[in-house]
Every structure is written in structure tokens, then in C-alpha cells.
Amino acid sequence: MASARRLLGFLAMTSVALVVAHDLVFLLAFGAGLDEALAHTGHDGTWGTAVAVVLAAAFGLLGIGALRLYRLGVVARSLTASEGSLRPAPKVFARSLAGLWLRLAGATTLIFVVQENLEHQHAGLGPPGLSVLESAEYPHAAVVIVAIALAIAFVVSLFRWRRDVLVARIAAARAPWSRARTTIRRRPSWVERRHASIVVHQFSGRAPPQFGAP
């Protein structure tokens, strides 16, 4: 389940990076003639719908993530007032950011190249190949993709970093209570049976009470 969520999250990030980088590259190339250029290169009306859906989903996920961080923050503040040494080291954050950035940039670049070649073929044009990453029709496409991937990776890594900090604070605050509960043990039953046997033995060693004759 966790791996499926991570995969879906990565696909969502890649989709956002793709549509933003794609339209930004065409905007740099054609400016006010963006719509005409998109139509000429095989981007029909479904592309605009796809962009709207992807961006709406991205803003929705951003809102859900912000709400989750807010709730975690409320719980963390109710348990402890200080983050102390629970902040992740800068190297950990940097490695996480770099790893996500490289994967996101690579996946977005691959999908961008494949998509543009397929769209050119669909429009009856020759496949441009890798020239979609740098040409007059696609100015600085590779740089744009890398920059957009970095921006998205930074935002996502920042969300994850804050989530990990809050979860660590909550876990650290609850740990003493958990340890206290585990140390409270019920008295072993054999002790109770031993005490009962001692009492029975004491009574068994005594003479029965004598009652006076009527």
C-alpha cells in the first residue's frame, strides 16, 4: 500500500512537471501565438482539458498536504512545545531533494520527448527526435524541464521534511507514556495462589472452635 501511494505520488508530480514545462516551453517559443502553435503540432482540445485536470488535482493534493501538516502541528504542539534536536540534518534533506529531483527530471524529460514525437506523427509531421529538448521550436526545453522539476521536488521535499519533523516530535512525546504503561504489570497469579495456600494452611493447623453445651 505504501509503495502504491509513493508511485501514485510520483506520477502526479511527473504529470504536473510535464504540463507546466510543456506550456512554458511553447510560451517561450511562440508567445501570443501559443494556441495556434499547439494546434499546429497536434495538441488538440484534449490537451487543454488534461492540463486543467492535472493542475486542479495538483492544487487539491497541495491543499490536502497542507491540511495534514496543520493537523500534525496541532497534535505536536499539544504534546510538546519544542522541536529540540528532532530537526533532520541538512544533508538528509539535501539527499532527499537531490534524489527526487533527478528522478523527476529524468521521468519528465523522457515523457516529454515521447509525447512530442507522437504528437508530431499524429499531426502528419516528421518526428523531431531529441531536438524537442533544444531547438527553435522548443527553446531551452531541457533547462525548463530541469528547473520545473527542481521547483516541484523542493516543494514536495519541504512538505515531507516538515511531516517527518512533526511525526518525530509526536512519537518522542508519546514514548515515555508507552514505556510507563509497559512497566505497570499485573501481579503474577502464582503470588496470589501462594498467599491463599498460606492462609488455608494456617486455618488447617488450628483446632476447630469449641461451642459450649446447651
* pLDDT value, residue 211: 44
Cβ-proximal residues to 130 (8 Å cutoff; 6+ apart), any chain: 113
**Mean pLDDT across 21-37:** 77
Mean of pLDDT values over 179-193: 48
pTM across the whole model: 0.71
SS3 of residue 198 by DSSP:
helix
| Spatial distance between the Cα atoms of 34 and 24, rounded to a whole number of angstroms | 10
- Whether 133 and 142 have beta carbons less than 8 Å apart is answered as yes
Mean pLDDT calculated for residue range 22-44: 72
Query: What would the mean pLDDT of 102-112 be, rounded to a whole number?
Result: 95
Which residue, 122, 154, 119, 117, is CA-closest to 133? Answer: 117
Does residue 126 carry a pLDDT above 50?
Answer: yes
Q: How far apart are CA 133 and CA 146, in angstroms?
A: 11
Domain limits, the chain: 2-185
Q: Where residue 199 falls among pLDDT bands split at 50, 70, 90?
A: very low
**What's the whole-number mean pLDDT along residues 7-18?**
90
Average pLDDT over residues 180-197: 48
